[in-house]
Chain A
Amino acid sequence: MLFNSFEFLLFLPVVFTLYWFVFSQSLRWQNILILIASYFFYGWWSIPFMGLLALSTLLDFLYGFQVASPNRKRAKLFLWLSIINNLGILGVFKYYNFFAHQFQEGFELLGLHTNPVLLNVALPIGISFYTFHGMSYVFDIYRQKQKPVSNFVDYAVFVSFFPLLVAGPIERANHLLPQVQKPRAFNYSQALDGCRLMLWGMFKKVVIADSLAETVDKMFNGYQHYNGLSLILGAVAFSFQIYGDFSGYSDIALGTAKLFGFELLSNFRFPYFSRDIAEFWRRWHISLSSWFRDYLYIPLGGSKQGKAKAVRNTFIIFIVSGFWHGASWNFIAWGFIHAVGFLPLLLLDRNRKNVTDVVAQNRRLPGIRELWQMCATFTFVTLAWIFFRADTMSLALNYLKHIGQSIISQPHQLSMLEGKSTFTYIIPIVLGDWWLRRDERKLRMVRSPVIRKLLYWVMAILILSKFSSNSSFIYFQF
């Protein structure tokens, strides 16, 4: 079930009504309702794969008890079982065909012809997210940061809570589980904030991202017919399409969770205002980058075992992060490019600048230096996005080659109208984010309640005038 679907518009009020009006006096029944609703939400896409979700959930729940064992050898054994189990599920459904093809090509180079058996199975939606939920739970128990949960329903809600089930944010047990386990009372401000977040998220997705998608598809599918400037515009349009799409989804997820009394982890903090790549990764898909930092980078030694190992670990997490997004060389290349961009900051010990403050912290506008830093970072990120968006490595490289070769003129130039309409969609999101950058969780954009309500109505009308049940979210494919 998509957030931007008619079914969700019916589903949400029903669950909300049952949650607060029928089961509000019983925490246990509220959690059971959330669990049933989450499986219904997931099963709307695929009933068979509900079984996989349930199996993954059950196994990690059981592993948790063993990993909490005072016998550290036993604990480590079950930790590895959980890792193998979760990565095994990912490996089979997401990566098997990729490796099969790579082995086939490898053998072809040696002159050996093979015909590997390929799996003709759809990628279960959300698999990259709920397996990471399970692994983080088991890891935290092993590190004694978390106690195993005795109530299976509570744990299952943590793994499969429907707002975050299919595209995150990737929650942590010590953040979400306590909220599941304690009684929740309806909070007016929280619910209102949730509605605002959902509205803004839907606006970014339906009005901004889906409108830019048309230009992006044209550029990437027919790059041979466009000149360099148009292709650059296409890449910029994709930067905002993916941001609008993914941050829009996250905002809808956070907003929906607030309606039920939950606070989820923030996943985006205005990443395109970053002044360097390190800051970008502290602001983009925060739940994933922090997951890799805590469960891969730090266990590998992080930056505490010398520069060489820090560089090695950095490349590992960026490449793995790229690979997490998709079983394809272009995603690995995307991760590698970011690692290369991060490297100078790491070597010069500048990767920990700009950690707490936001650009133009106490000013309305950025300074010249900050503006230059933001533009440079955005340009780098946009060039890397070309590899992310392209279906294959060769398409990405050809796209870049065409930018270089045809920077001036070629047939089928992007019309002025399309150029203008692309910037028409980019400007509101840039202005809106700039306004919110110091206080991203509160969407009180305008002080006057009358103007604020009018703005909300205008946003709702624009959303509904472009609403299409056929448009899915980019991150669903991961």
Chain B
Amino acid sequence: MFSYCTDPASLEGLAWLSCYLTNGKHLLFYQSFGTVLLLLFVTAPVALAFGFVGAAAARARFAPLALLAKGYTAIVRGVPDIAFFLFFVIALDQAFEYLRHKVKCPDWEGPIRQGSDFVVCSAAKLPLSNSAQWVHEVYGFALAVLTFAIVFGAFAANVLFGAMRSVPRPQLETAEAYGFSARQTFWRILVPQMWVYALPGLSNLWMILVKATPLLFLLGVEDIVYWARELGGTKNPRFSDYPHGDWRMYYFGALLLFYLGLTKVSEVVLDRLMARLTLGQATSGGDAQRKAPA
């Protein structure tokens, strides 16, 4: 990075540290923080969409659909999320390849599961084995996002389902009295009003999502945990210009600080958002805002 970094062995103190902290490996480490933030910002809306569909399905009059949606949320909440991550990341991959296999290679004979091999025709491979490295990385990341969205979608469905039920009944009855159809009542009355009831639950969910991001490491994505472990490990002078002992404690200490900061910032932002959304709502919070001296 810096011009004086050509011979790190001769450096000491801050100069050494400045070179050490800006070598190629550390730059990859800093990039991985971006990966984590990207995951957060991609997953949150996807999970919310899953949750919305789940909540709407749980309200459905068609009993099997409602049962399916409720079963989905109950199972996801009854089992540790980490087990889901480990399960879905393989299961989704195999499911996609299985479906593609059925579509693209209908003449294929022989079983797909051969002992410990999972064999599909090469046209069904995901991603195709001749695609570039970035395709593989994007695919891995997309699988992670989908896995996160499935798990957190169930939580979000639970929150949104509760929020939909909290919207005062008279609001819906009034809509019906004005001749709104069920669909119109849902989209024009229920959905716009439910957010303020959902926000406390959703902010809590956001916090949980933030704290679940290090599990990305278990899904095989090279995230901050991966690099912290790699960088913190003892470095032998034969294989590195920056030999050092076991520094993993410091790297994970830095990660702790990063997450504490991230949750603190989230807290502040979400509090502001709550204040904004409460404005003019028929809730005790809205009432308090109205009565407060300007």
> Is B one of A's binding partners?
no
Residues on A facing B (Cβ under 8 Å):
none
